[in-house]
């Protein structure tokens, strides 16, 4: 019996696991069996591998072929195992010298014509291979740039299966001259462009954005259509700091598996911005799909901004599914073969009209909605979602005075202040598990205010008048610290607390 062994990588969510792919060729009734928990795509892989070998004018071994993918317990999804299976078979049949192939990771889908097709998730796959001690990977030409982002590994690209045979020292009868397959990439252009200087007036909403960025607070904008809510939200990623290297790798891995990443541009170093439409399904926001699951918008927004425009128009199920990532920072996609986890630690920005017709709020002139309809509208966001939104700000359309006023500060200026504020926060929180004010629990904050109760007078008054709940009061304290950090004051003053209250209740005090 002849053997051929090589390696591939199985992805479960973002975590890759090296899989040994071993082909046994026995002198028995000819056949081709794959063992090791293959899903449907893997069974189809059998047909593709055979067709690709024949199209490459390589003899298909006329023996009983058993390909074993181990460990068997690992769920293996998607079409990325084709190349490793073909290489193992051809090593077993002697078309490729077998020595050392077990130390090479092969990733790629085979076309029936023998061409190698790019796959999603190459970055986390190669990273996992390197973490397991592999130093040599072979990927489709279109995936070379992405694989090469992982340091410490030799990446070789191939356009066809015949290329791979040659690369390993085999000699196919002829190597067809074909164009490499170009991967279809979707949604890679940055959508959150535009500078804060474009936004005229809107002092309080602009400040809310800055506080959100500095403290990591979730944010709700309410206001009539045309007030500039969408415009404001799209400027949040621009004032967030660059991703750290670890974050960049993590974010890029998510977008690699999603197929929304342009490897030509290198690792993603800026916070992503995702703004799913309100008609989006829960699956589109959470992720899923057959084969290798795709991360949804909430995961693609990991370490960046998830913007729900016209938030009350989203389906109730979609809004409810956001609870899990808001609480745990990840999304779990359950499948019969096991769960896939994707990180989803995003900053949530919600925009909402004050009522279905959009004209309530402010003077409320011309609103034709019943009081009941008005309550129900924003009520859709209540509970689990709004509970976590520290900042709730009303945006009114700027009048002609605002339009004629001087342009506001630029993204660059505000971003610099955000960086400084975050540094101040980190210093205060040294020795705690938190780095952003939004993460700090109320008990810790109240302790710090001990002995300085006078500063909290605005909060006491708001509590007394019923404007604020106790839970809301904790959020105000949290915001007050971010206001202080942005202003370069170590501890909040009464004015900081007052401003925090405005940013929480949407009302000046
Ligand atoms: N404060 C503002 N400064 C400059 N342009 C504004 C401002 N507010 C609104 N606009 C203009 O109005 C358009 C609509 O704003 P938009 O953000 O879509 O409002 P909303 O989301 O509240 O309905 C913007 O694209 C922009 O051209
Ligand atoms: Mg809008
Ligand atoms: Zn209305």
CA of 397 from ligand 1 middle (Å) equals: 8
* Centre of ligand 2 from the C-alpha of residue 225, in Å: 6
376 CA to middle of ligand 3, Å? Answer: 11
Q: What is the DSSP letter of 103?
A: G
Q: Are residues 198 and 309 in the same domain?
A: yes
CA of 222, nearest ligand number? 1
Instruction: Quote the ligand 3 centre to 369 CA distance (angstroms).
Output: 4
Domain assignment present for residue 205? The answer is: yes
Whether 191 shows a pLDDT value over 60: the answer reads no
* 434-474 confidence digits (pLDDT tens): 999 999 988 888 888 777 778 888 888 888 888 788 888 88
| Mean pLDDT (whole number) for 409-427 | 95
Task: Using most ligand atoms within 8 A of CB, pick from 192, 228, 230, 353 the residue to mutate for ligand 1.
Answer: 228
Same domain? For 464 and 453 the reply is: yes
> In ligand 1, which atom is closest to the CA atom of 234?
17
Q: What is the CATH number of the domain that holds 156?
A: 3.30.230.10
94-151: pLDDT as tens digits = 999 999 999 999 999 999 999 999 999 999 999 999 999 999 999 999 999 999 999 9
Burial profile 408-431: b = 16 or more Cβ within 10 angstroms, e = fewer: bbebeebbebbbebbebbeebbee
Identify whether residues 244 and 387 lie together within a single domain: yes
Query: In terms of domains, do 386 and 416 share one?
Result: no
In angstroms, what is the span from residue 353 Cα to ligand 1's centroid? Answer: 14
Same domain, yes or no, for 260 and 350?
yes
For residue 418, report the phi and psi dihedrals to the nearest 5 degrees. -60, -45
Q: Locate the ligand 1 atom nearest the alpha carbon of residue 224 and give its number.
A: 22
For residue 175, is it within any domain?
no
* Pairwise pLDDT comparison (398 vs 313), residue with the higher score: 313
Domain ends where: 356, 374, 408? Answer: 408
Q: Which two tokens stand for residue 384?
A: 């689990």
Q: What is the extent of the structural domain holding 138?
A: 2-167
Residue 215 Cα, ligand 2 centroid: separation in angstroms?
24
The minimum-distance atom of ligand 1 relative to the CA of 397 is: 8
Report the CATH number at residue 266: 3.40.50.300
Least distant ligand from the CA of 311? 2
**CA 354 to ligand 3 center in whole angstroms:** 7
Is the residue at 176 inside a domain? Answer: no
**Which atom of ligand 1 approaches the CA of 225 most closely?**
23
Protein residue with its CA nearest to atom 6 in ligand 1: 228
Tokens of 479: 């915001």
Residues 287/296, Cβ–Cβ less than 8 Å: yes
Pair (352, 213) in one structural domain: yes
In whole angstroms, how large is the CA radius of gyration of the chain?
28
Residue owning the nearest CA to atom 26 of ligand 1: 228
The answer on 485 and 437 residing in a single domain is yes
Question: pLDDT of 299-310, one tens digit each?
Answer: 999 999 999 999
Are 256 and 163 in the same domain? Answer: no
Say yes or no to pLDDT of 222 above 80.
yes
**Ligand in closest contact with the CA of 375:** 3
The rounded distance, in Å, linking the Cα atoms of 134 and 107 is: 13
Count how many residues are written for the chain.
509
- Amino acid 31: pLDDT: 92
- Residue 485 falls inside a structural domain: yes
- Residue 227 is encoded by which pair of tokens? 């007030």
Q: Which ligand is nearest to the CA of 308?
A: 2
Bridge partners of 394? 222
Q: Best mutation site among 193, 195, 204, 226 for ligand 1, i.e. most ligand atoms within 8 A of its Cβ?
A: 226
Do both 433 and 363 map to the same domain? no
Could you identify the atom of ligand 1 that is nearest to the CA of residue 402?
1
Residue 383 Cα to ligand 2 middle (Å): 23
Residue 195 CA, ligand 2 centroid: distance in Å: 17
The number of distinct structural domains making up the chain is 3
Do residues 46 and 81 lie in contact, with contact meaning Cβ atoms separated by under 8 Å? no
Question: Are residues 472 and 368 located together in one domain of the fold?
Answer: no
**481-353-301 Cα angle (round to 5):** 60
Residue 481 and residue 460 in contact, taking contact as beta carbons nearer than 8 Å: no
Q: State the closest ligand 1 atom to the C-alpha of 221, by its place in the atom list counted from 1.
A: 22
DSSP-assigned letters across all residues of 108-163: -EEPTTSBEE--TTHHHHHHHHHHTT--EEEEEGGGHHHHTTSSS-EEEEESBHHH
Task: Give the pLDDT score at 115.
Answer: 95
276 pLDDT more than 90? yes
Smallest Cα–Cα separation from 63: which of 112, 23, 20?
Answer: 23
Q: Which of 423, 430, 490 is nearest to 241 (CA)?
A: 423
CA distance 33 to 130: 29
From the CA of 395, give the closest atom in ligand 1.
22
Q: What is the pLDDT of residue 509?
A: 42
Q: Is 24 in contact with 65 (CB distance < 8 Å)?
A: yes
Percentage of residues of the chain with pLDDT beyond 90 = 60
| Ligand approaching nearest to the C-alpha of 275 | 2
Q: Which of 408, 427, 459 is the last residue of a domain?
A: 408
User: Ligand 1 pocket check: which of 198, 224, 230, 231 to mutate, most ligand atoms within 8 Å of Cβ?
Assistant: 231
Cβ(497)–Cβ(222) below 8 Å? no
Q: Are residues 506 and 414 in the same domain?
A: yes
Q: How far is the CA of 452 from the centre of ligand 2 (A)?
A: 41
CB-based contacts of 416: which residues, under 8 Å, 6+ apart? none
How many other CB atoms are found less than 10 A from the CB of residue 334? Answer: 9
Confidence of residue 74 (pLDDT cuts 50, 70, 90): confident
Q: What is the mean pLDDT of residues 312-326?
A: 91
Contact at 8 Å (CB) between 333 and 351? Answer: no
In a domain, 183, yes or no: no
Helices 470-486 & 442-449 angle (0-180, nearest 10): 70
Q: Does the residue 179 lie in any domain?
A: no
Q: Which of 305, 463, 328, 309 is nearest to 384 (CA)?
A: 328
Which string of DSSP letters, residue by residue, matches 399-455? -HHHHHSPP---HHHHHHHHHHHHHHHHHHTTTSS-SSGGGS-HHHHHHHHTT-GGG
Among residues 372, 387, 408, which one ends one of the domains? 408
Under 8 Å between Cβ of 240 and 304: yes
In a domain? residue 449:
yes
Ligand 1 atom with the shortest distance to the CA of 227: 22
Cβ contact 65:23 at 8 Å: yes
Q: Which residue has the tokens 């309080």?
A: 204
Q: Is there a single domain that holds both residue 108 and residue 33?
A: yes
Task: Give the closest ligand to the alpha carbon of residue 227.
Answer: 1
On the question of a cis peptide bond just before residue 248, with omega within 30 degrees of 0, the verdict is no
> Ligand 1 atom 7: the closest Cα is on which residue?
228
Q: Is residue 217 part of a domain?
A: yes
Task: Look up residue 346 and give its two tokens.
Answer: 């995003």
- The beta strand positions in 327-366, using DSSP E, are 330-335, 338-343, 347-352
Ligand 1 centroid–CA 228 distance in Å is 3
Kindly list the protein residues whose Cβ atom lies closer than 6 A to any atom of ligand 1. 198-202, 223, 225-231, 351, 398
* 230 CA → ligand 2 middle, Å: 4
**Closest ligand 1 atom number to CA of residue 403:** 3
Compare 451 and 393 and report the one with higher pLDDT: 393
Q: What does the pLDDT read at residue 186?
A: 54
């Amino acid at each position: 019996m002849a053997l051929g062994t090589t390696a591939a990588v199985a992805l479960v969510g973002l975590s890759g696991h090296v899989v040994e792919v071993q082909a046994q060729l026995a002198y028995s009734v000819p056949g081709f069996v794959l063992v090791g928990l293959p899903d449907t795509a893997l069974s189809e892989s059998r047909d593709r591998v055979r067709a690709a070998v024949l199209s490459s004018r390589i003899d298909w071994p006329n023996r009983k072929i058993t390909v074993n993918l181990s460990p068997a317990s690992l769920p293996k999804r998607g079409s990325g195992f084709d190349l490793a299976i073909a290489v193992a078979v051809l090593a077993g049949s002697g078309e490729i010298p077998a020595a050392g192939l077990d130390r090479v990771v092969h990733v790629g889908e085979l076309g029936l014509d023998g061409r190698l097709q790019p796959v999603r998730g190459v970055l986390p796959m190669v990273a996992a291979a390197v973490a397991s001690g592999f130093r040599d990977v072979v990927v489709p030409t279109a995936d070379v740039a992405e694989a090469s982002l992982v340091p410490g590994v030799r990446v070789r690209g191939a356009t066809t299966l015949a290329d791979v045979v040659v690369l390993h020292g085999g000699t196919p009868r002829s190597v067809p001259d074909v164009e490499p397959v170009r991967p279809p990439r979707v949604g890679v252009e940055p959508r959150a462009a535009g500078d804060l200087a474009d936004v005229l007036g809107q002092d309080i909403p602009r400040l809310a954005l800055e506080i959100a960025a500095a403290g990591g607070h979730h944010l709700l904008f309410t206001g009539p259509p045309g007030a500039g809510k969408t415009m404001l939200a799209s400027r949040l990623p621009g004032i967030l700091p660059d991703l750290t290297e670890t974050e960049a790798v993590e974010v890029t891995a998510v977008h690699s598996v999603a197929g929304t990443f342009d490897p030509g541009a290198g690792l993603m170093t800026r916070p992503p911005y995702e703004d799913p439409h309100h008609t989006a399904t829960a699956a589109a926001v959470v992720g899923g799909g057959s084969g290798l699951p795709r991360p949804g918008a909430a995961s693609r927004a990991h370490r960046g901004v998830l913007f729900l425009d016209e938030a009350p128009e989203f389906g109730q199920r979609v809004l409810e599914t956001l609870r899990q990532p808001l609480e745990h920072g990840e999304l779990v996609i359950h499948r019969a073969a096991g769960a896939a986890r994707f990180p989803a630690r995003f900053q949530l920005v919600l925009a909402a009209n004050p009522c279905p017709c959009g004209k309530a709020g402010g003077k409320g002139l011309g609103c034709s909605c019943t009081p009941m309809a008005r309550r129900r509208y924003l009520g859709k966001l209540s509970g689990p979602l709004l509970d976590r939104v520290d900042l709730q700000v009303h945006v009114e359309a700027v009048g002609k005075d605002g339009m004629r006023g001087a342009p506001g500060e630029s993204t660059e200026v505000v971003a610099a202040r955000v960086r400084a504020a975050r540094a101040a926060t980190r210093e205060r929180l040294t020795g705690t598990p938190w780095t952003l004010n939004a993460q700090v629990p109320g008990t810790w904050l109240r302790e710090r205010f001990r002995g300085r109760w006078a500063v909290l007078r605005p909060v006491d008054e708001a509590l007394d008048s019923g404007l604020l709940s106790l839970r809301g009061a904790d959020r105000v304290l949290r915001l007050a610290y971010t206001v202080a950090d942005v202003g370069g004051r170590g501890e909040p003053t009464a004015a900081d607390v007052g401003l925090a209250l405005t940013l929480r209740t949407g009302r000046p005090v």
